[in-house]
Amino acid sequence: MKTRHLFCLLLLSTGMIYTSCTRDQVISADQPISEAEAIQWKPADGIARFIPQEYKDNILAEDLAFAERLLLNPKEEGLAARGQEIHIAAGSSNALAAAIASAGHGDVIVLDPGDHFETGTVYIDKTISLMGYGANYISSGVVYASDFNVKSALHVTAKGCISTIRGITFKSTETHPGVCIFLENTKSIKVLYNTFENWNLAIMSAASDFGTILGNKIIADPSWSTGEILEADGMLFSDGKHNQVTNNEVSQALLGIFAGGSQGMDFGNYTHDCFIGQIFCRVPAGGYMHGGSTIDGIDIDTKTSAARWLAAFNKSENNAFTGYLIIDGAHDNNLQNNSTKTNGAYDYYAVGDSHLFGFFTPKAFNNTINAYGYQTVKNCAVNTIIRGGILIDPALDPCE
């Protein structure tokens, strides 16, 4: 049922059914930042000066300052004292767990340039930095499962708070790998400048707060588009607060960036060639994809939908269905100064009570969309503030 419904959506978005809109439905708005400035944003421009104060307060001041420094200088390592370095030579096999066990609090484990092979799940259960400039982490035994009871390659537990994972290319020997990085009830984790190739889910953040996900490149397993697997996503947040998602690129996913939890910042990200570029939503009860699924035996057990996120200066292009989807009770989110191009059905879609995904999701409410004049906006949600854009005519394209 779910697979069939997703393919119906794909057909809708690629031209089997057309939507219509009219210029006379544009709602005028004061756009404080021009589209040209938003599109031309580059990391060296920083982020703090573009963020309203009320949203700056969602992110720890030191985390925002670190992101500013990192965008200016990707080699920035922060102000914390650097621990002892433990090097793992290229060609290693299942060496990481022992290195973590021997590491002290705050030590730095360096994967030397080259290939490193790991089987199954490696747990990070203490504060470390895992660095790997030029290193390939090649996982095996972590595979996609049709019932979504999956394993992760790296599992960061609550005891691994304040850890960093940086500069690694994550690959797999499996045709359809499972979850790459699983953040479980963590705080202040930094995932920086990594590359993820062909994963079912690159980053899963469950009930984790104050994370910084910056500068990563995710190329998801595209097999969902042929029906070989049901779903593959870029990064996903379930509950958790105050997470910062900045300057990442996600492609080929069913869902590029899944914003859940509350009071997050989603800035300067590029989602393209997905089904849905960005989604503000609630992870379905019982699992990260649907009821009954687990990661490393952990039931995600999501409590709330996306709330009070700021999404700004993002680009969402060439997605089969929509650039930005607000659904499943998502509320009080602010989407502003985001660019779009060649999305299949809509640039923005705020959804009311719906069975869009084959199961009931309640209406989104109290969200704000500041759109540019050419962007299409379908609004079926409650009390959506829309400034700018081209409103889809509900008489021609009805809500459910």
Range of the domain at 113: 2-391
Q: Which CATH number belongs to the domain containing residue 285 in this structure? A: 2.160.20
Task: Read off the pTM.
Answer: 0.91
Tens of pLDDT, residues 171-180: 999 999 999 9
- Contact of 128 with 154, CB cutoff 8 Å: no
Q: How far apart are CA 200 and CA 22, in angstroms?
A: 39
**Average of per-residue pLDDT across 209-233:** 96
> Is the model's pLDDT at 263 over the cut of 70?
yes
Cα-based angle 255, 223, 269 (whole degrees, multiple of 5):
30
Specify the pLDDT at position 101. 98
- Of 69 and 34, the structure prediction assigns the larger pLDDT to 69
d(CA 359, CA 361) in angstroms, rounded, equals 7
The pLDDT of 219-239, averaged and rounded, is 94
Structural contact between residues 363 and 378, judged by C-beta atoms closer than 8 angstroms: no
Q: Give alpha helix (H) positions in the chain.
A: 2-11, 35-39, 53-56, 61-72, 96-102
Q: What average pLDDT does the segment 360-369 reach?
A: 97
396, part of any domain: no
Kindly report, residue by residue over 65-80, the tens digit of the pLDDT.
999 999 999 888 766 6
The pLDDT confidence band at residue 291, using thresholds 50, 70 and 90, is low
Q: How far apart are CA 163 and CA 237, in angstroms?
A: 18
More confident residue, 29 or 337: 337
In this prediction, residue 283 carries a pLDDT of: 87
For residues 37-60, give the mean pLDDT: 88
Query: In the beta sheet, which residues pair with residue 310?
Result: 265, 334
Query: Which region holds residue 149: left if phi is over 0, alpha if psi is between -120 and 50, else beta?
Result: beta
With respect to residue 307, please indicate whether it lies within any of the assigned structural domains: yes
Looking at per-residue pLDDT, the higher value among 231 and 316 belongs to 316
* Residue 26 in this model has a pLDDT that exceeds 90: no
Q: Report the percentage of the chain scoring pLDDT > 90.
A: 74
For the segment 123-164, what is each residue's pLDDT rounded down to a tens digit? 999 999 999 989 999 999 999 887 778 999 999 999 999 999
Give 299-302 contacts, CB < 8 A, sequence gap 24+. 300/206, 300/238, 302/238, 302/239, 302/260
Q: Could you give phi then psi for residue 6, rounded to 5 degrees?
A: -65, -35
Mean pLDDT of the chain: 89
Q: What is the mean pLDDT of residues 379-393?
A: 97
Query: How many structural domains compose the chain?
Result: 1
The pairing of strands 233-238 and 255-259 is: parallel
Q: Could you tell me if 281 and 302 are in contact, meaning their C-beta atoms sit under 8 angstroms apart?
A: no
- DSSP-assigned letters across all residues of 148-164: -EE-EEEEE-GGGTT-E
Provide the pLDDT confidence category of residue 285 given band limits of 50, 70 and 90: low
Residues contacting 123, CB < 8 A, separation 6+: 97, 100, 155, 156, 157, 160
For position 147, what pLDDT does the model report? 76
252 Cβ contact list (under 8 Å, min separation 6):
219, 220, 221, 222, 232, 273, 274
How many separate helices (H) and strands (E) can be counted in the chain?
5, 32
Element (H, E) at 167: strand 164-172
Q: Closest Cα to residue 205, out of 272, 261, 280?
A: 261
Residue 308: closest CA among 370, 363, 243, 360: 243
User: Domain for residue 227, yes or no?
Assistant: yes
